[in-house]
Structure 1
Amino acid sequence: MVNIGNIQLPDFPILLAPMEDVSDPPFRAVCKANGADLMYTEFISSEGLIRAAAKSRKKLDVFDYERPIGIQLFGSDVATMGECAAISTEAGPDLIDINYGCPVKQVACRGAGAALLRDIPKMVEMTAAVIKNTHLPVTVKTRLGWDEGSKNVEDVAERLQDIGIAALTVHGRTRVQLYKGEADWRLIAKIKDNPRIRIPIFGNGDITSPEKALEYKNRYGVDGVMVGRASIGYPWIFREIKHYVATGELLLPPTLDERVAMCRMHFDKSIEWKGPRVGIFEMRRHYAHYFRGLEGAKAWRTRLVDAETPDVVLEILQEIASSEAVPVS
């Protein structure tokens, strides 16, 4: 078992990464249905929570079927982050996660996300404020460092463990790299090998297949892996990784019926949570992923994106299920 505070996870858990405009409750529902062991909300702006901004407050929604579920916060002000930890705790998650890894300009240039990798004392102070304002386990997600010349994540890991974080996830790139190039997990392995480190260490970056997950488990010794972009439109990656790690056998890819059923579940949850207008609009970014590689996928995506009512979307999905499409060779 892997323990994060009082949360018990299976050996080598597979985590769903918090992804802005992706990891909402409808998406989390399909990932949980396929075996995700721990999930997080989209990252939530601490300043937005303090202002009671509707979008930020809506992201606090968590549901019992998602558990264990963490709320992820980001911000640049220590006191505000502490206050938001208390607000988030009231929403009833299982843990609070702090984002010290987001590389996008709009976040980092405001002194939040990966920007804290250039101010470790402030990162420590902010983390302590969050821990002080919640009874829940507090975890952190970060990167190797700001750039190639300042990879300081080993120091970060020790200092944050010393003030009480319950687990650490490290993305194997620097902030300057964004999402380019190959993730480097060697420093993640060094953290895990550090005899001072007692908390679970999870690796993130480039986990795109069951084979890679098992390879990285064996090579780098991490306690689990976090899957991000590879899960978009393909939530089956969680069950595939878990099965391969346990047995060494690859599962068959999802059938057409399974693809349609999972897309339908995602769509239904989207309508339920967001309402018809917003639910239909926000599902449009997912259709191409669900049917990628199948005959007629482009035409289906075009029709689904153009659909303006739930009934039309469901009719098209039923048509897809009846098409007997096969993967394009």
Structure 2
Amino acid sequence: MAKKIAVIGAGSWGTALTISLASAGHQVSLWARRPAAAAFMDQERYNPTYLPQAHLPDSVHITSNLAAAATDQDLWVFATPSQSVREVAARLRPYARPDLIVVSVAKGIENGTLLTTTQVLAEVLENVPRARIGVLYGPSHAEEVVTGCPTAVVAAAPDLAVAEEIQDTFMTPRLRVYANTDVIGVEIAGSVKNVMAIAAGISDGVGYGDNAKAALITRGLAEIQRLGLALGAEAGTFVGLAGIGDLVVTCMSRHSRNRYLGEQIGRGKTLEAVEREMTMVAEGVRTTRSVRDLARRLEIEMPITEAVYAILFEGKKPQEAVNELMTRSAKQEDWLPDCLQERVRHAGAGRQ
């Protein structure tokens, strides 16, 4: 069934989803923050800054008026940078309704509050039931989605019926969507993988090779799972599309802005210099602060995250950080924090 949808945010992913949704027959409004950008896209039917190769269908309504974009819609898609979700959601609060579905595609954890984007949205949009706030995450670079490359993602919401409605809305012959109710697991996996992508990029920039990247991806997944399980996530989520799937593509792809940022830092550039050169936001930079703070609050060991934080914000040299990682005391290959080991053992015994 066709829906009326507002896509809030005209970056690369917001633009790609707008095109995909409109092509599937939905009535889509795309909100761009800058009036000049909205006017250009409305006239020329493409996004010159973020996705110049893709045509915006004539049916898409493009505007910089937030109220006009959001009013009387069935579904909102939040495609702003994660650190902007609260500010934009606050402006949208008067237009929220109990029958609305809200989907976040922004991957990150808010600085200060350490909340995921659905937690921020639930806090700000009081009129929308928590069960109707979900996410669409997974290995999905916009540049490939708009060219019709087969892509698979996860729609997660607390209520399975809502997750399935999101699934049905976004599904196309080239965008396959799986339903899931483990929202916190999907969000942690999709957010923390950006930190690991920066680490993988740093390794590329320094020239450490495939062995080092494989170790970073594998041990990075261990860190992601530790944090997620401590927050109540399900273990299976981390071996799915939102977990290993998104982690691999973000650490390996030439399209990954987080991997690119890390690579430039590995080659000797400063964070400030790299961010000045980039037109898109590398979510992993701000998320690194939040993940490091959250891990310390929960007493979860995340040494790769600590190393990325030290490189980005404390001036540590990548070679020094790698040396510290490689010379840590010997460990067993444990994926769980000590506080969860006993719980998992008991759960396993109960199933026998």
Confirm or deny a common fold (TM above 0.5): no
Q: When the two structures are superposed, what TM-score results if normalisation uses the length of structure 1?
A: 0.32
Structure richer in helix, relative to its length? 2
Q: When the two structures are superposed, what TM-score results if normalisation uses the length of structure 2?
A: 0.30
